[in-house]
Amino acid sequence: MSQAEKTYAEQVVSEYFYILDTEEMDSSVKDFKVNQFYDIVNRTEQQLGVKFDGTLIDPWNDVINETQDYGNREDLWLADALKVTRRDAKVKNRLNIIINHISDIKPIIDRDTNRTYYPAALPSEWAGGRTPAIS
């Protein structure tokens, strides 16, 4: 990418995206529950006088896991958290995207092309999302 292309890309992102980076040193939001995320989105729309077409949470496993409120059952908490996400999308007419990183998937080598690829994760591997350890 040339410097001109980089500058143009940064301008597009700056114009069309609002990024909440909870890991920035001066971020006012460090941790959030799924419903708090959509409350932040709604308040930001009101404060800026804009309407977001979509939201993205990446990674999903950074959302505060409230399993204690569901008898320590992740499946019940996840069902409710996803319901909050779907309802917000429907009511606000936006596309809500959740990124769920999977680890421990073994690569496959295609015998015909000798190319390596990772298969789609199975539902049993989603498990709320995991981030591989960094060494």
pLDDT at 8 over 70: yes
Residue 44 parent element (H or E): helix 34-48
How does the average pLDDT of the chain come out, rounded? 86
pLDDT at 1 over 70: yes
* Banded pLDDT at 127 (limits 50, 70, 90): low
- Cα atoms found within 13 Å of the Cα of residue 79, Cβ hemisphere only: 6
Beta-bridge mates of residue 54: 95
Entry pTM:
0.73
Sequence-distant (≥ 6) Cβ neighbours of residue 60 within 8 angstroms: 98, 99, 100, 101, 128, 129
Distance between start and end Cα atoms, the chain = 29
Give 24-75 pLDDT, tens digit per residue: 767 677 788 999 999 999 999 999 999 999 999 988 888 888 889 999 988 8
Rounded mean pLDDT of 98-120? 87
Three-state secondary-structure class, residue 98: strand
DSSP 58: S
Q: Rounded CA gap, 5 and 11, in Å?
A: 10
pLDDT at 132 over 50: no
